[in-house]
Structure 1
């Protein structure tokens, strides 16, 4: 591994660097505050209430989902152990409720399982040397390989919408044996099935016989066979493969993804949402490619299908090093965008409209490209703005975020200010893609400072909410803790790793660069060091490192989240002769900076950062030339201490 030394002294610390270090310090205090208020000594969450139906496992893991992400970015040294402690404590807690068996969900849909998974995945990425989590990763992946009962290799389908450690769990939940009109919050999504005899409107569900008929149809038709959101299950096998590259794991992912690609190709490029027990699309829905559980008709359509497809497509990139399977997402995005129309009154046009208007800061006159999120017998319906995350991930994978045609069209058809950093915070820790895209394109130069100010405001508000909250939620309020999680990592992920945050619904955390601490042998920024990725192109990364502290530090810069990319060469600035100058002069001369480029030919380089120095690295990159694998930084520390 080559070593480059920073030689340019810092005359004035960049404001972004100071804000980044302040954010890391505040986050370190914030997670401890959450832990002391809401967690028991054994790691579980304080809760004396009950569980209802099949729902709930995800809501107990979600409050911690980005804690190991923060550790991997440079959070406190004891944060990883705390994250593991809470994962194990919550898992025991959920086993006591009967929701977890052998440390994994008994059986639920993959929209919610995808929400459960990021916490576990981030621990695996942060510490691949942990034998217990490695064994868990393999055991969880085996649940979906042929022979375990959840997957049928003859039809290339996951056999039910609800699956898990208990095998297929038929139906859609005991709480929906009847589907009544008195369910708060569900009327906005309409009828789950639109062809049940005697049920034509929501008000029809007020008749007990109609409610039973709808419930029965949901259990029989939506509770069997495969559904598109099951594509997120491919992350279990991909994560386990990153440990030991067992071809059984990668072969299964590719087989399953390709089966869905074939179904999409046969459907004009649009991913269908259901496959019957016999392996045929539409088998339980009168031949229709829509109508499956968490599918195109109900409840969310594109909002649930696009993330699952994106997760699976990106997993295929990790496994194969090729972009061949991105059409799993691209075809569907192109199809809905072809149906788009620029319109106003965003808040009133669909089931998710109020949330979109709030996120965009839109009033009734704001015009955006609105695309249909759902499809039924009447055709496409339920229009909203295009979700940026899946579009961005396709551009990111191809290495052309700044000039992607889909992103450019969305920006051109938008009245919103794409450079604005809007002050909001959702549970997915996402939603600020547009101004970051502008930064990488050179249109938004002060994005790092404004985004870090937002992140500080996010964690300060959550900390204030914790201070006024009770020690535990009321019975059934299992979303309580995720509303109060004070750890924020979206902006840090963008600026430090040059990537969007992982897809919330079961995605792996990808990166253009991962920075490790070469002295302490762990991932994350060394103490006092701040990092900023200002360019992330297919063959080039520009990364600035600043040591704001009083101690020398050693940073390890790795190309790719899993060491899959190669640093061909590294250009960097150097202080030329002239500093510190003649000791008989009173003025402090600047350090005239020159440039040097050195060959690398490795996924990693070391950067020695003396106190109060900075360096700008211009890295020439070859992407996906090495086999991806979970990466351990402990070896670096052992070598440096030898």
Structure 2
């Protein structure tokens, strides 16, 4: 189905001009970052020494959203740059002993999820690359029950250790921690004691005793280094990514079985998502029967920040491969409803919140107000570590499910949160997220200026990152492996929201889903064509409103609009606005006469449609959609061309 725009763009909307300016700026700055911090083979310039198990994720993270920029419409050569950097970093980490056969030797899925975002992005941006396709299947095979790697216990439906990978289960924790977890680890102090039930170790200061530090390290190695943990649910994205290529039942069946196992464990814990399963398959086996206390779980170090994220990720992946919401999202709802029931009020206090600095950056002066604070962690003394609710979790649940109860939860959080959802705070953290509140209020019709304000804010963040790069001296602390992610100048959160109608992917391993995606039909590649801006103005379970603008006054642009990130949704009908009369008017006139438009409804019954945008035109598309009507896949443009023939 093809529709052609006829309504004049006239005075181009500010958001459209700013959006194209942001694309242009981003295509300049990633080249500067690359030239300054990367070797010719794509690896990062690094003169330090990597020790222990931690660090592989930090080499991939500076590029995590570069493939997304290409997929949205970034420069043609950006895709090759992404692959070069992935290959270069992979060789670099292989030489350092962190990878075997191009995959993580063995580490936790909180960090593996971060590492893989770049890989998932490349797979989505170029599914025709056979080398990355083979990698996707090979990596996912490591987490199937039949794999000789032995990461999975099929009969017990569990992953055998918190640290796993191409080397199989890697039991224990970081070697340096196993030898002694002491009070000198000042950076870990905000997270408190990893284990709270060791006699004689009641406070962080007790770890100053070398004997206590050794005891803590030994017990961490034994109890936090064995059995399954909730954060392993992030592995479902690796499985789903492979299934999007091949649709082999073995990937879908294991993903479904694993998520169901965690659902059953949650039911067995009275509706609380447990964070630990012992080697014999029992919840609490290594933690005195308690459902909390596992690695990257409810007690240590991040609580809801990690458990809530993987519960949403797992539910989204299960719904993706089955085509059904079913009860999958109950797993994601459970931790949110549990902490909301324990909410209190007050300002953000350093001693009460392990992520106080993050929230002060996100909320500015509002952080000192009367806020709704939910407990992120649970320990022997009850719930603690109170912070505002991370909005990405309930936002994604509502976005995927479309259910009224999930919309009500969002509305309740807005009413009780204690800060203004329409404010666009000028911050950017490494997760490229956190602006869900003003975006949601825009979709609800209460924040009409959000697109232009958010895009201007994003441009400001790019400018600040470039200023930081100019001021940066790599010779100072050359072993800092977090420098690059702090300086990555590519910002994509706002572009994802405005063009695709979805929140940014969850940072600890989520696949990016979307209401709509775009293809440059003339260049047969993903993303918006040059000069074209897109804005999703409204979205609900059965409708998406998209505004397309061609800012070129000389060139026609052709855009294929796809429903769903993986072409899984069906466009049933589209209502388009058409010019009737009055433009451009008489040449003797100094201004255009008022023109008139009408609307037309067109049947589509497909997962895409072709939009032709003559020079200087715009088009409103009101798409009636049915969710999950086609088998999701990593689509290529050839698919659409064949259907059009």
Pairwise same-fold verdict (TM > 0.5):
yes
1:162 counterpart residue number: 163
Matched, 1:386 2:389: yes
Deviation readout 1:317-341 (Å, 9 max, x if unpaired): 1111111201111011111111112
Give SS of 1:329's match: helix
Matched, 1:332 2:335: yes
Q: Alpha-carbon deviation of 1:565?
A: 0.4
1:38 counterpart residue number: 37
1:630 counterpart residue number: 634
Q: What TM-score, normalized by structure 1, do the two folds share?
A: 0.97
Matched, 1:9 2:8: yes
| Mapped partners of 1:193, 1:35: distance in 2 | 42
1:431 to 430, 434, 439: 434
User: Does the CA contact (< 8 Å) of 2:569 and 2:607 recur in 1?
Assistant: yes
| Mapped partners of 1:151, 1:137: distance in 2 | 18
Q: Alpha-carbon deviation of 1:356?
A: 1.4
2:564 counterpart residue number: 560
1:460 to 452, 459, 463: 463
Per mean C-alpha deviation after superposition, the further-off stretch among 127-136 and 366-375 is: 366-375
1:616 counterpart residue number: 620
Per mean C-alpha deviation after superposition, the further-off stretch among 195-204 and 491-500 is: 195-204
2:262 counterpart residue number: 260
Q: Alpha-carbon deviation of 1:157?
A: 0.8
User: Does the CA contact (< 8 Å) of 2:372 and 2:418 recur in 1?
Assistant: no
The structure-2 alpha-carbon separation of the partners of 1:72 and 1:218, relative to structure 1 and needing over 3 Å to count, comes to same
1:185 counterpart residue number: 187
The structure-2 alpha-carbon separation of the partners of 1:17 and 1:139, relative to structure 1 and needing over 3 Å to count, comes to same
| Mapped partners of 1:62, 1:611: distance in 2 | 39
1:62 counterpart residue number: 61
Q: Alpha-carbon deviation of 1:417?
A: 1.1
Q: Alpha-carbon deviation of 1:546?
A: 0.2
The structure-2 alpha-carbon separation of the partners of 1:459 and 1:585, relative to structure 1 and needing over 3 Å to count, comes to closer
Map 1:593-612 → 2, pairs under 5 A: 593-612=597-616
Matched, 1:450 2:453: yes
| Mapped partners of 1:82, 1:473: distance in 2 | 27
Q: Alpha-carbon deviation of 1:465?
A: 1.0
Per mean C-alpha deviation after superposition, the further-off stretch among 299-308 and 271-280 is: 299-308
Q: Alpha-carbon deviation of 1:404?
A: 1.1
| Mapped partners of 1:484, 1:117: distance in 2 | 19
Map 1:496-511 → 2, pairs under 5 A: 496-511=499-514
2:287 counterpart residue number: 285
Deviation readout 1:541-588 (Å, 9 max, x if unpaired): 000000001310100000000011000001010011333445566653
Q: Alpha-carbon deviation of 1:398?
A: 2.2
| Mapped partners of 1:480, 1:583: distance in 2 | 58
Q: Alpha-carbon deviation of 1:49?
A: 1.1
Give SS of 1:326's match: helix
| Mapped partners of 1:350, 1:588: distance in 2 | 59
Matched, 1:350 2:353: yes
Deviation readout 1:241-289 (Å, 9 max, x if unpaired): 0011000000000000000011111112110000000000000111111
| Mapped partners of 1:400, 1:27: distance in 2 | 36
Q: Alpha-carbon deviation of 1:206?
A: 1.2
1:103 counterpart residue number: 102
Give SS of 2:447's match: coil
Matched, 1:407 2:406: no
| Mapped partners of 2:361, 2:92: distance in 1 | 36
Matched, 1:221 2:223: yes
Q: Alpha-carbon deviation of 1:185?
A: 1.4
| Mapped partners of 1:358, 1:285: distance in 2 | 35
Matched, 1:308 2:307: no
Matched, 1:299 2:298: no
Deviation readout 1:2-57 (Å, 9 max, x if unpaired): 10000011210111000000000000000000001011101100111110211111
Per mean C-alpha deviation after superposition, the further-off stretch among 470-479 and 382-391 is: 470-479
Q: Alpha-carbon deviation of 1:354?
A: 3.0
Deviation readout 1:205-246 (Å, 9 max, x if unpaired): 111111111111000011000000000001111000001100
| Mapped partners of 1:517, 1:417: distance in 2 | 38
Map 1:504-543 → 2, pairs under 5 A: 504-543=507-546
User: Does the CA contact (< 8 Å) of 1:346 and 1:354 recur in 2?
Assistant: no
Per mean C-alpha deviation after superposition, the further-off stretch among 609-618 and 397-406 is: 397-406
User: Does the CA contact (< 8 Å) of 2:7 and 2:617 recur in 1?
Assistant: yes
Give SS of 1:32's match: helix
1:146 counterpart residue number: 145
| Mapped partners of 2:425, 2:488: distance in 1 | 19
Deviation readout 1:101-130 (Å, 9 max, x if unpaired): 101000000111011011000000001000
The Cα RMSD (Å) is: 1.6
Q: Alpha-carbon deviation of 1:194?
A: 0.7
The structure-2 alpha-carbon separation of the partners of 1:425 and 1:294, relative to structure 1 and needing over 3 Å to count, comes to same
Give the total of aligned pairs: 640
User: Does the CA contact (< 8 Å) of 1:238 and 1:319 recur in 2?
Assistant: yes
Structure 2, unpaired ranges of 5+: none
2:173 counterpart residue number: 172
Q: Alpha-carbon deviation of 1:399?
A: 3.0
The structure-2 alpha-carbon separation of the partners of 1:483 and 1:404, relative to structure 1 and needing over 3 Å to count, comes to same
